Amino acid sequence: MSRWIGLTIVGGAMAVITAGCSQGPSGTAAVIEDKIYTVTPASVNVKAGIVTGEVTEMKVTERVEKGSGRVVSPAKLTGTLKLKNTSANQTVRLIAGKIQYIDAQGQPIKIEGTRTEPTLKFATYGSERLDPGQDATQSLDVEFPAEALKAKKLKEIRLELAYIPSPYREETVNFTVSIGEGK
């Protein structure tokens, strides 16, 4: 009988410990929403030497807590960059791209503290090389400075492209052959 009482007490203690340690229903979770800022114009044509292209579908998105307005994820510029090699005789190797945000006085707007500078990497095999007439499409998803969200603060966006042009030639080589008798 004492064994049963001991097991009952231990079992009861375990039930109390388990119930006491379990999480009760949590409070209401904060609702996070995307705050979208339009970029005007949403599409622009670009030209850098023999590379031309278009930046399309530009917008700035910031994730905020509904109600309090607290920023959960800082602003990012998103869009699509399409580049084309317009040269007739040079291949272009795309190295990298850098984006700068320029204010009304022509000065760069700095990215806050620990955030990374907005850069583009052309790392996908084949997308970094453009033969004459070829094009490549790259997604934009880069940091955007909070300061630039203020009205009339941002004047322009500067895209700096680094690329290596190299001569591209196609030549034909003819060589004489003959076919012997079959065996």
Q: In this structure, are residues 114 and 143 in contact, taking their beta carbons and an 8 Å threshold? A: no
Please report, rounded to a whole number, the percentage of residues in the chain having pLDDT higher than 70. 82
* 3-state SS, residue 113: coil
Q: How confident is the model at residue 67 (pLDDT cuts 50, 70, 90)?
A: confident
Q: Which residue segments constitute the domains of the chain, with CATH numbers given?
A: 33-167 (2.60.40)
pLDDT in tens, 4-63: 433 334 444 444 444 444 454 455 677 899 999 999 999 999 999 999 999 999 999 999
pLDDT value of residue 3: 40
Q: In this structure, are residues 67 and 31 in contact, taking their beta carbons and an 8 Å threshold? A: yes
Residue 52, exposed/middle/buried by CB under 10 A (0-12, 13-18, 19+)? middle
